[in-house]
A and B are shown apart, each in its own frame.
Chain A
């Protein structure tokens, strides 16, 4: 158990809908990262927040947005869902930002868009 929690574990929804994925980082971790794992694209970095502020952006679609709240939990919002958005979404957290800070991964949320 990494100490990172993600809810829900599974989500099934329809095209065009909007969903919110939630992540609680390990206690004391200030940085949260979101990754998408799909069969087509593999594991891709989406976005990082550090202490409430956006720190880095990757291949995140405009239909997706995220935020980190004052209690440091983070939410990833996916809207106007398409079939291709079906994937496993991971959240990771680290104490600080930067390459020497180990990222601890949550168990993921599996999103299925029908």
Chain B
């Protein structure tokens, strides 16, 4: 069965610093990969997605992610973090055989000023 691992439960970065959130997936074929963000008391908002093609995908709010098949990874990056980026970030995989998203456990991002 497909699974998603987010090894970092909590990350703290300074405002203006770069950010990388890790995501590893387990699935035999090429998965459909997503990053969502959840702000306190809010639902989930899609940041970006990868289906096929260019392995570097751009998303909203200045985020990007790179799909690396050899490492089964889909890490999320941002060159300069803003205080408003503090939130919980979820990586998810959607496999073609099942109409559901499987989420990782999430990474809580704290931004210090």
Binding site for B on A (CB under 8 A): 2, 4, 31, 33, 35, 42-45, 48, 50, 55-56, 58, 90, 92, 97-100, 102-108
Q: Please judge, given known A-B contacts A43-B90, A43-B106, A107-B43, whether A102 and B49 are in contact too, CB under 8 Å.
A: yes
Contact: B44 with A45, CB < 8 Å?
no
Number of residues on chain B facing chain A (CB within 8 A): 23
Which chain B residues border A4 with CB–CB below 8 Å? 43
Contact: B103 with A43, CB < 8 Å?
yes
Q: List 27 A-B contacts (CB under 8 A).
A: A4-B43, A31-B99, A33-B100, A33-B101, A42-B103, A45-B100, A45-B101, A45-B102, A48-B99, A48-B100, A50-B99, A56-B98, A58-B100, A97-B99, A99-B32, A99-B51, A99-B99, A100-B51, A102-B49, A103-B101, A104-B46, A105-B44, A105-B45, A106-B43, A107-B41, A107-B42, A108-B43
Contact: A90 with B90, CB < 8 Å?
no
Which chain B residues border A99 with CB–CB below 8 Å? 32, 51, 94-96, 99
Partner of B99, one of A56, A104, A105, A107: A56
- In the complex, how many residue pairs between chain A and chain B have their CB atoms under 8 Å apart? 55
Binding site for A on B (CB under 8 A): 32, 36, 41-46, 49, 51, 90, 94-96, 98-106
Complex alpha-carbon distance, A102 and B35, angstroms: 12
Closest to B46 in A: A102
Q: Please judge, given known A-B contacts A42-B103, A43-B103, A100-B51, whether A105 and B43 are in contact too, CB under 8 Å.
A: yes
Interface of A is mostly: strand
Complex alpha-carbon distance, A48 and B96, angstroms: 15
Which chain A residues border B46 with CB–CB below 8 Å? 102-104
Which chain A residues border B101 with CB–CB below 8 Å? 33, 35, 45, 103
Complex alpha-carbon distance, A31 and B42, angstroms: 21
Which chain B residues border A50 with CB–CB below 8 Å? 99
Complex alpha-carbon distance, A50 and B44, angstroms: 21
Partner of A98, one of B42, B43, B99, B104: B99
Closest to A4 in B: B43
